[in-house]
Chains A and B, each alone.
With several copies, the nearest count.
Chain A
Amino acid sequence: MQLEILYTITILIGEFLSHTIHPMERIGIVVFPGSNCDRDVHRALNHDLKIPADLVWHANSKLSSYDSFVIPGGFSYGDHLRAGAIAAHTPAVEELKKKANKGRMILGICNGFQILVECGLLPGALVTNKSLCFICGWTNIRVETNTTAFTSLLSLGQTIKIPIAHGQGRYIVDKQILASISKKNQVVFRYCQNNPNGSTDSIAAVCNEDRNVMGIMPHPERVPAFGIGHEASLIFRSLWDHLTG
């Protein structure tokens, strides 16, 4: 009984928030056919971190009323052709590109990272892991820059624990691009201790030149919001801090 009341209250508060907060101040979680971490991100943001966010189907016209986005993990369009390749050609991604050019914030996680790379918002490519196997487990990543809106609450050089789960997570860039993104400080996280997928220079996350779009292979939505291992959730908190000033 008590629990039910609690749920009802939570739902009421949720509804209250969704009515009082303008979509501009909410995060849109873009759902493609085959996305499968969308509900997890939704839960982590709304329930654990109390950051207002909505699931938005990619073909829904409401998408354009949001100003900041998370593209969740999963297998959009079944990962056919290449992970992220087909989603990158949808009108929804065209819309996101426009928003990105206006400086809006976009965070791509796992498959979201793959989509951002495929649509050209981020440099490089993500290909099949060096081991040829899907890998799931926890790994350590190091903060390479905290001058992004996604890492402002983390300290430079800090190592955090975070889950990974991907089959095509090997980040590839050629020498020129690598030199350029290193120079412009666009590498946001690197795997440390071991490189689970064979990424160039152990890169786990990159951002664009304007630093408003970031792609990350590991899954920050899978860590607890409090207690041991919560550090990765500071990625979302940093973003929210930035959005709410």
Chain B
Amino acid sequence: MTIENKPYVSDPEGETILRDLIMRGGYANVIGVRVAKSLKLKVKAKNKKIAEENARTMCESLRIFNPVVSNCSITAIPKIKPLARGHSKTRHNRR
């Protein structure tokens, strides 16, 4: 679940990271940064679709993000990866 400012909403944090860290570090090939927040939920559900729907209703009714400011995209990954907690092996996972 990724919560991100809407495209027309500015992102001062991303801009500072780009300007003061990445560009000054000499990484000219990076041309844009947007910061987002992700939530990894571990959900029990019959299938991917139901899991996604569940997550979306919950997200909206509990106001996990403010839809005036942010968009939220939800993807369920069926058992692909156990939640990080307690799984130190996932550390170098690149997916």
Task: Give the B-binding residues of A (Cβ under 8 A).
Answer: 77-78, 80-82, 85-86, 88-89, 118, 123-125, 127-128, 130-132, 172-175, 177, 198
Contacts and interface: CB of A to CB of B under 8 A. Distances in A.
B63 A132 contact: no
Contact of B12 (A89, A118, A125, A128): A128
Interface residues of B, number: 18
A125 B66 contact: yes
Contacts of B20: 77, 80, 86
Interface in B1-51: 5, 8-10, 12-13, 16-17, 20-21, 24-25
A125 B68 contact: yes
Contacts of B13: 78, 80-81, 128, 132
A142 to B, nearest CB: 24
B77 interface: no
Contacts of B68: 123-125, 172-174, 177
Contacts of A174: 8, 68
B21 A89 contact: yes
Nearest to A124: B68
A172 B12 contact: no
A118 B66 contact: yes
Nearest to B25: A89
20 contacts: A77-B20, A77-B21, A78-B12, A80-B12, A82-B66, A85-B21, A85-B63, A85-B64, A86-B17, A89-B21, A89-B24, A89-B25, A118-B66, A125-B66, A130-B10, A130-B12, A132-B13, A132-B16, A174-B8, A175-B8
B83 interface: no
Contacts of B69: 125, 127, 172
Nearest to A123: B68
A99 B12 CA distance: 33
Contacts of B80: none
Contacts, number: 59
B86 to A, nearest CB: 15
A132 to B, nearest CB: 6
Contacts of A85: 21, 63-64, 66
Interface of B: 5, 8-10, 12-13, 16-17, 20-21, 24-25, 62-64, 66, 68-69
Nearest to A91: B24
A78 B35 CA distance: 14
Of the candidates B5, B17, B64, B66, the one having the most CB atoms from chain A within 10 angstroms of its own CB is B66
A77 B69 CA distance: 21
A242 to B, nearest CB: 29
Contacts of A130: 10, 12
A118 B5 CA distance: 16
A128 B35 CA distance: 12
B17 A89 contact: no
